[in-house]
Amino acid sequence: MIFEDIDTTIPTLGPLRVPSPIKRGEKGALAFVNDDDKVVMDVNLNNLIQKVKEGRELISFEVAGPREKLYFDPSKLRCGLVTCGGLCPGLNDIIRAIVLELFYGYGVQNIFGIKYGLQGFIPKYRHDIIDLKPETVANIHEMGGSILGSSRGPQSIDEIVDSLERLNIGILFMIGGDGTLMAATKIAEVITERGLKISVIGIPKTIDNDIYLVSRSFGFDTAVDVATQAIRSAHSESSGYPNGIGLIKLMGRHSGFIAATATLAQQDVNFVLIPEVDFDLEGPNGFFAALESRLNLRGHAVIVVAEGAGQKFFENETTEKDESGNIRLKDIGLFLKHTIMSYFHTKGTDISLKYIDPSYMIRSLPANANDNVFCSFLGRDAVHAGMAGKTKLLIGRWNNHFVHIPMSASAGKRKKIDPKGKLWLSVLGATGQGPLKNSD
């Protein structure tokens, strides 16, 4: 990944003059973070030495955490929270962490939840606004989904900012994926154009773990956890029948991180198909031939496919888009199920194929313990950033530190598996699958 062209400057609304009320224990203040505390993006020692020799700047992120002085007066502040896009384990954990830190850490009394995503800002939808208190969020981390609900599709940015003005919101916390972050960027730009003092803080949400410049997104650990159970079940089913095949479709529109990581976590998989790595079905080196060879050798096989893999097989079909403008992917799971069955039928070979798609079950589950802790850090650091008047940023994890990432550096871009990187090479080693590609 090339970092030279990335501007990591974080905008602020103004000077910090309000002392932070954060305390810990009887002996004084929690250790505060300074804006000069940085995390270098590229930790490769040779690269660092070379940059220093050449006098080049070392690109780095601000460390997230509480600041000693604040921009906002907590006693007068009103905050808004909104969750957008698809459901994901950990949404309620993020909401809970933000509310508890605002209320108990800073003494902010006015915290509002915007219902059903960006629709909640638009008057014509007439969605309610929830008054969020500690008692409101006390047990929501035990539930899946989002207590605020969600929605897809673009809404008028001007109407959203109008609503923020009417509500007198000082900090807006937006929890969502790439589309949400792009919307957040536009909202922040209109806020700046109007000369308003509203902070916009993003908490990146994608179960696929494909947010650019974010090493891990919340919900991913839970998704991998449950996906391994699906793999385990598929392996039991396939090995229990002659020529048994277990086929699992997992999330991953553009990036195969869940498929690859779950495969390494539960090493019963023989083939992994992801969007980043092309494959053929027919031909001597294609997937069908490799699958047939596996059945002849061991009598069963387990296949994991990410939902965005193999979309080239649908090139002649009509392209549709969802409410947010994203291309609706064709169902590669069902496609493979039918084509595999057809292939072996023409060969006169009886197979027993079991197809598993746990996607929506995974998306709506509560977060596991690891994600629960991770969400707590993200939510609290989002509050610290907002209280310090920072804006147009998202909270992410980089080189084992929570940091401030400019929205402009991440929005509209996507993180993908490197086919020559350690993750994919480890998958190839664990599965033993070849390239599944005929010579061009």
> Would you kindly state where each structural domain of the chain is located, as residue ranges?
18-217+367-410, 220-364+419-431
- Which top CATH class is 220-364+419-431? alpha beta
Determine what percent of the chain is predicted with pLDDT higher than 90.
Answer: 81
Mean per-residue pLDDT for 11-23? 93
Q: What's the 3-state SS for the chain?
A: CCCCCCCCCCCECCCCCEECCCCCCCCCCCCCCCCCCEEECCCCHHHHHHHHHCCCCCCEEEECCCCCEECCCHHHCEEEEEECCCCCCCHHHHHHHHHHHHHHHHCCCEEEEECCHHHHHCHHHCCCEEECCHHHHCCHHHCCCCCCCCCCCCCCHHHHHHHHHHHCCCEEEEEECHHHHHHHHHHHHHHHHCCCCCEEEEEEECCCCCECCCCCCECHHHHHHHHHHHHHHHHHHHHCCCCEEEEEEECCCCCCHHHHHHHHHCCCCCEEECCCCCCCCCCCCCHHHHHHHHHHHHCEEEEEEECCCCHHHHCCCCCCECCCCCECCCCHHHHHHHHHHHHHHHCCCCCEEEEECCHHHHHCCCCCHHHHHHHHHHHHHHHHHHHCCECCEEEEEECCEEEEEEHHHHCCCECCCCCCCHHHHHHHHHHCCCCCCCCC
Could you give the C-alpha distances from 374 to 31, 32, 261, 362, 380, in angstroms and in order? 20, 20, 18, 18, 10
pLDDT band at 321 (very low <50, low <70, confident <90, very high): low
Residue 316 has pLDDT above 80, yes or no: no
Residue 322 has pLDDT above 80, yes or no: no
Residue 2 has pLDDT above 60, yes or no: no
Residue 4 has pLDDT above 70, yes or no: no
pLDDT, residue 178, reads 87
pLDDT, residue 3, reads 53
Query: Does 220-364+419-431 match 18-217+367-410 at the fold level?
Result: yes
The rounded mean pLDDT for the chain is: 92
pLDDT per residue as tens digits for the range 153-206: 889 999 999 999 999 999 999 999 888 999 999 999 999 999 999 999 999 998
Q: Which fold has domain 18-217+367-410?
A: Rossmann fold (3.40.50)
Least-confidence region, from 45-49, 78-82, 375-379: 45-49
pTM: 0.92
Residue 437 has pLDDT above 90, yes or no: yes
The number of angstroms, rounded, from the C-alpha of 168 to the middle of its chain's C-alpha atoms is: 29
pLDDT, residue 439, reads 76
pLDDT, residue 315, reads 85
pLDDT, residue 440, reads 61
pLDDT, residue 29, reads 52
Residue 152 has pLDDT above 90, yes or no: no
Q: CA-CA-CA-CA torsion for 81, 86, 92, 93, nearest 10 degrees?
A: -100
Mean per-residue pLDDT for 221-227? 95
Residue 35 appears among annotated catalytic residues: no
> Choosing from 208, 210, 221, 357, which is the catalytic residue?
208
pLDDT per residue as tens digits for the range 49-64: 777 777 777 888 999 9
